[in-house]
Amino acid sequence: MKRAIFPGSFDPITLGHFDIIARGVTLFDELIIAIGVNADKKYMFTLEERKNFIEECFKDNPKIKVVTYEGLTVDFCQKNNVDFILRGLRNPADFEFEKAIAHTNRDLAPIETVFLLTAASTSYISSSIVRDVIRNNGDYTKLVPKPVRVK
């Protein structure tokens, strides 16, 4: 069984994330959306809200599982028999950053990283941009899946 994780903070999940997940799930038998918990990071949405957003987006896809985790991604992979990490690339800066992480992960454990390029239509979207639009009362709904709504 080919299992992969797509790790991130997903604060919130964007249409870019959605695109990578929808395309990535076709490559694996199971795709685990793994929401990393970082105590030093200040989030706009609670962990429960972020998990609910993602679960609602993919509720009809039995190949997708949503979990939370703390610690190193490769440790999570080893504890859960996951051989692949899925990552999306929007631009050359993402590639350089993700390449360094992928090399480090491979040094730590026998885990392969699989990169998918984001769709051109979503390549400009980031969670930080979405949060800024929300903070400034802009129309963020064009940037996120339907389940992501501010109360």
Report the candidate in 121, 88, 13, 7 with the shortest Cα–Cα distance to residue 57: 13
Establish whether 149 is a catalytic residue: no
151 marked among binding-site residues: no
125 marked among binding-site residues: yes
98 marked among binding-site residues: yes
Establish whether 42 is a catalytic residue: no
Report the candidate in 80, 98, 95 with the shortest Cα–Cα distance to residue 34: 80
Catalytic pick among 3, 23, 90, 106? 90
Are 121 and 29 within 8 A, CB to CB? no
121 marked among binding-site residues: no
Establish whether 121 is a catalytic residue: no
106 marked among binding-site residues: no
64 marked among binding-site residues: no
- Helix ranges (H only) for the chain are 15-24, 47-57, 73-79, 92-108, 127-135
Enumerate the known binding-site residues for substrate. Answer: 9, 41, 73, 87
Enumerate the known binding-site residues for ATP. Answer: 9-10, 17, 88-90, 98, 122-128
Q: Which residues are catalytic?
A: 17, 41, 90, 127
